[in-house]
Amino acid sequence: MNEQVKSAKDKMDKCINSLNREFSTIRAGRANPAVLDKVQVDYYGTPTPINQMAAVSVSEARVLVIQPWDKSSLKAIEKAIQASEIGINPTNDGQVLRLTFPQPTEERRKELVKQVKNDGEQAKVTIRNARRDAMDKVKAMKKNSEITEDDVKDLEKELQKVTDKAIEEVDKAVSEKEKEIMTV
C-alpha cells in the first residue's frame, strides 16, 4: 500500500474513532458511563475525571451509580455534575451518587438524531478531504515523473476503495446510534 493511501486511511480511521467517541457521550435515555467522560471534578485544586476518583457503574437500565473511593470527595463530584452540561441532578445518599436518566421526549429524540446525522456528515467531509489531499499528492508525484500514469490509476482506485469503506463505517455508526436513540 502506497504511503499516500496509508496516510489517508490513518486520517479516516482517526475521524471514525473520533465520531464513535462523540456518539458515546450522547445520552439516549439509557445510562452510559461515557456521558461523564467530559466532566472534571476540582479535586484539591486539580481538575480530575470522575472515573479516576470513583467507581462508575450502571445499576439499572437508566441509573448510573457513582461510588467515590474517597467519601470526602462526594460533594465535589456532585457539584461538578450539577455544573456540567449533562442536565441531570444527582441524588446523594451520603455513600453514593445516583444519576437517573429520564426517558427523552419524542422532540428531544428527533433533535439528537439531527445532531447525530450532522456529526456523521461532518465526518464524511473530513474523510473526503483526506482522499482529496492524498490525490493531490499523487498527482504532484505524477507531475514530477516519480510515478507512471498506471500507478496513478491504481492509487486512485485504492484510495476510492478506502474512502468508500470509511464512509460505509460512518453510515453504519450513524444508523446504529439513530436506532438506539429512537428506541423507547
Phi, psi dihedral angles at 53 (to 5 degrees): -115, -15
pLDDT in tens, 20-65: 888 877 766 677 787 787 788 888 888 888 888 888 888 877 888 8
Q: Return the pLDDT at 29.
A: 66
Which pLDDT band, with edges at 50, 70 and 90, does 184 fall under? low
- The pLDDT > 70 percentage for the chain reads 97
Contact (CB, 8 A) for 28 and 36: no
Residues 59 and 114 both lie in one domain: no
Residues 166 and 122 both lie in one domain: yes
**Count of structural domains, the chain:** 2
Q: Domain end: 100, 122, 155, which one? A: 100
Domain that holds residue 136: 3-25+105-182
CATH of the domain at 38: 3.30.1360.40
Residues 83 and 70 both lie in one domain: yes
This prediction has a pTM of 0.69
CATH of the domain at 142: 1.10.132.20
Mean pLDDT of the chain: 86
d(CA 176, CA 116) in angstroms, rounded, equals: 10
Q: Return the pLDDT at 23.
A: 83
Q: Domain end: 73, 100, 127, which one? A: 100
